[in-house]
Amino acid sequence: MEKILDINDLHVSFVTYGGEVQAVRGVDLELYKGETLAIVGESGCGKSVTANSIMRLIPSPPGKIKKGSIHFKGNDMTKLSNKQVRKIRGVDISMIFQDPMTALNPTLTIGNQLTEGLKQHRNISSTQANKQAVDMLKLVGIPNPEERMKQYPHQFSGGMRQRIVIAMALICEPELLIADEPTTALDVTIQAQILQLFQKIQRETGVSIILITHDLGVVAKIADRIAVMYAGKVIETGTRQEIFYRPNHPYTQGLLNSVPRLDQKGEKLIPIAGTPPDLFSPPEGCPFTARCPKAMEVCSRVYPFQTELSGTHAVDCWLQDERAKKYTASP
Ligand SMILES: Nc1ncnc2c1ncn2[C@@H]1O[C@H](COP(=O)(O)OP(=O)(O)O)[C@@H](O)[C@H]1O
Ligand SMILES: [Mg+2]
């Protein structure tokens, strides 16, 4: 399979009056053509900063990509000029955010907004652009698309607006779609419909998707692979099956125990006690130590080496490492 995105040792910080917030601290991620990668973790763990780095949307100052590379189809996004990035953004890589209204212009019709991107980036006639926009509205499940093209954003419900935003993101046929908490603002029924829509779009267009969410329940059906983030690091990655049925990191296990699961009805939900560490001065060792029910002496001192549990499953946890005993023995 073709690897379309390869993130290596990404470090992103924000320099503020209070000090340096180390938002992303050495993230490695890869994405293959046609797959859905979910990035999950509690609020503030660096999911959005990672995603925004791919699109070069980190505000600078105060933000800065301090180290690492982000290869998208061979180009290192961290090294491209602003002009080169603008050619990729919205065309080869598109992004969808939580609140659809931020992506829509209230003063323009849906038709105008959909065709605007096309006319800008593709050399096509208005008639062709209109036809493509209507087809795209059909794909995302908007009834009577020809009529709806003439309407304004406020004439649509929240769920329909998010469908339109998805249509806008897809209209230039990107290879990568990044969706940052795309269903968080929607109610549960609509949320399920939008998730089904992502699956349908992927089947029909072959686009690769990065889906970001704080809610593991959201990705239970649609992720091929899952990366679990904590305090600016990816602490466990695996296929959906590996993460849901053989979660290894105590944090992943904690997250799973705290969300409702369709396959385990009636299980009691147990929230993870405590809060994530301050990213101004993140702990030297494993950042989950203070909340971890299985923490050992070594955990607070040294960050764990990564252990490969299978070809697709990897975890950063001392519980998997024989060498932990050696460190425990030292003063
Ligand atoms: N513009 C900014 N200025 C300062 N700190 C920021 C900025 N954007 C994000 N951060 C910090 O970076 C960390 C990661 O944030 P983020 O990636 O948004 O988390 P989430 O996983 O919820 O998406 C947080 O501690 C957040 O406060
Ligand atoms: Mg976020």
Compute the distance from residue 244 Cα to the ligand 1 centre, in Å: 27
Ligand 1 neighbours (beta carbon < 6 A): 14, 16, 21, 23, 41, 43-49, 59, 62-63, 279
Q: Whose CA is nearest to atom 16 of ligand 1?
A: 46
Q: Strand 63-72 and strand 75-76: pairing?
A: antiparallel
Compute the distance from residue 18 Cα to the ligand 1 centre, in Å: 14
Residues 6+ apart with CB under 8 A from 289: 283, 295, 299, 300
- Span 89-103, average pLDDT: 89
Answer whether residue 304 shows pLDDT above 80: yes
Residues 6+ apart with CB under 8 A from 194: 159, 162, 163, 166, 182, 183, 186
Compute the distance from residue 274 Cα to the ligand 1 centre, in Å: 19
Q: Whose CA is nearest to atom 10 of ligand 1?
A: 23
Percent of the chain scoring above 90 in pLDDT: 81
Ligand nearest to the CA of 46: 1
Instruction: Report yes or no: 231 and 224 within 8 Å, Cβ to Cβ.
Output: no
pLDDT of residue 328: 57
Three-state SS at 63: strand
Token pair listed for 97:
């955010």
pLDDT of residue 262: 62
Mutational test site, ligand 1, from 43, 49, 181, 281, max ligand atoms within 8 Å of CB: 49
Compute the distance from residue 222 Cα to the ligand 2 centre, in Å: 19
pLDDT of residue 206: 94
Three-state SS at 83: helix
Ligand nearest to the CA of 14: 1
Q: What is the band of 263 on the pLDDT scale with cuts at 50, 70, 90?
A: low
pLDDT in tens, 27-75: 999 999 999 999 999 999 999 999 999 999 999 999 999 999 999 998 9
pLDDT of residue 331: 46
pTM: 0.95
Token pair listed for 80:
């491209």
Compute the distance from residue 81 Cα to the ligand 2 centre, in Å: 26
Q: What is the band of 264 on the pLDDT scale with cuts at 50, 70, 90?
A: low
Mutational test site, ligand 1, from 10, 11, 14, 24, max ligand atoms within 8 Å of CB: 14
Residue among 322, 320, 324 nearest 285 (CA): 324
